[in-house]
Amino acid sequence: MSRGALKKRFDWGGLFLYLFLTVGGLLMLAPLVYMASTAVKPISELFLFPPRFFPINPTLVNFRDLLLVTGTSVVPFSRFIFNSVVVTGSIVGFGVIISAMAAYPLAKHNMPFKSAIFSLIVTAIMFSPMVLQIPQYLMISKSGMMNTYFAMILPYLAAPIGIFLMIQFLKQIPDSLLESARIDGASELRILFTIIMPLLKPALATFALLSFIQAWNDPYASMMYTTQEELKTLPLAIQTIQGGAGVIARVGTFAAASFLMIVPTIIVFVITQKMVLQTMAHSGLKE
């Protein structure tokens, strides 16, 4: 075949692949776009049949009503946002540090029972978090931490998936780099925070994203570990709005609250997506 014929050949397979991925991406994006459009629809357009995907007369009245509905309650809406930020930020921040400190000796030290501990971590990943809810509740209630931020934070700091991801990523770091640091007199703690942690950024970002999504969207902690309204988090507040009196009139308000809740997740994902893909390339089971 001549060079001219090769140049004239068209990559139909690549074209169909890109078209398939584009259509799939648009289908996955459609629910998010519909939720955003519902948040700016006036009440006269919320119950049209057939429903319209995009609003005709977009308005921000649903966001105003959200503040009015929550403003008449004992706890303002801003307090729910503050509680979610404190709880989620603490779970992500402390969880990342604890997982990195637990993964480092398992990946780079010849500690006793290392293989058995790693097998337990992999086994723990296979169990649903619901299995631990009753033991966690008993421990929190008997320790006297009910109705505190600690009760909503501590049960989520032990994360097997975070330790697993970091162990697998740590195995890509050459041991010679750590030996050089030890020869220069660096302590293990200094090696962890000055050498290991910067190299672990992709794994840290991946676990931070997964931890953020779970903590930000989970109403269970504030539902079970506190009875005080001023300690409730945003997911539970949204459930209250959804199930309160005048449910039909609050459809737009609920859509506005759901949209505000999903925006931080999208922002965190956009920031960490490149590092997440890099981590996934090194997270296979190698033992």
What is the separation of C-alpha 57 from the centre of its chain, rounded to a whole number of angstroms?
A: 34
State pTM to two decimals: 0.78
Q: For 97-114, how does the pLDDT look when each residue is reduced to its tens digit (9 = 90+)?
A: 999 988 888 888 888 888
Q: What is the mean pLDDT of residues 82-93?
A: 91
Query: What are the structural domain ranges in the chain?
Result: 11-59, 65-280
Is a pLDDT exceeding 80 seen at residue 240?
Answer: no
Q: For 165-218, how does the pLDDT look when each residue is reduced to its tens digit (9 = 90+)?
A: 888 888 888 888 888 888 888 888 888 888 888 888 888 888 888 889 888 888
Q: Which fold has domain 65-280?
A: MetI-like fold (1.10.3720)
**In this predicted structure, what is the pLDDT of residue 142?**
87
Q: Between 246 and 113, where is the model more confident?
A: 113
Copy the structure tokens of residue 216: 């930000």
